[in-house]
């Protein structure tokens, strides 16, 4: 089971395994103003479909 919650509200015993829609929007706004991007790894646990969205959005934007 997966839930989208703010990072500050991740329930006890759960892990943050990807960025959510609010973070994607924030990153995209910053990227739109950037001339250079240094990418140092995935945004989430992309090996699992449920947690790949943040990484996939960035890959599409960058490439």
**Would you mind telling me the total number of residues written for the chain in this entry?**
63
For the chain, report the end-to-end CA distance as a whole number of angstroms: 31
Torsion angle, CA of 55/59/62/63, rounded to 10 degrees?
180
Low-confidence ranges of the chain (pLDDT < 70): none
Query: What is the structure's pLDDT at 4?
Result: 95
Report the pLDDT value the prediction gives residue 20, as an integer from 0 to 100.
Answer: 95
> What local confidence, expressed as pLDDT, does residue 61 receive?
82
Specify the DSSP class assigned to residue 18.
S
As to burial, measured by CB atoms within 10 angstroms (0-12 exposed, 13-18 middle, 19+ buried), residue 23 is middle
Q: What is the pLDDT of residue 1?
A: 78
Contact call for residues 27 and 61 (beta carbons, < 8 A): no
User: Which pLDDT does position 62 carry in this prediction?
Assistant: 81
């Amino acid at each position: 089971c997966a839930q989208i919650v703010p990072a500050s509200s991740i329930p006890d015993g759960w892990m943050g395994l990807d960025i959510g829609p609010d973070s994607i929007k924030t990153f995209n706004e910053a990227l739109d103003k950037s001339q250079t991007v240094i990418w140092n790894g995935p945004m989430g646990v992309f090996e699992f479909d449920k947690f790949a969205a943040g990484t996939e959005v960035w890959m599409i934007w960058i490439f």
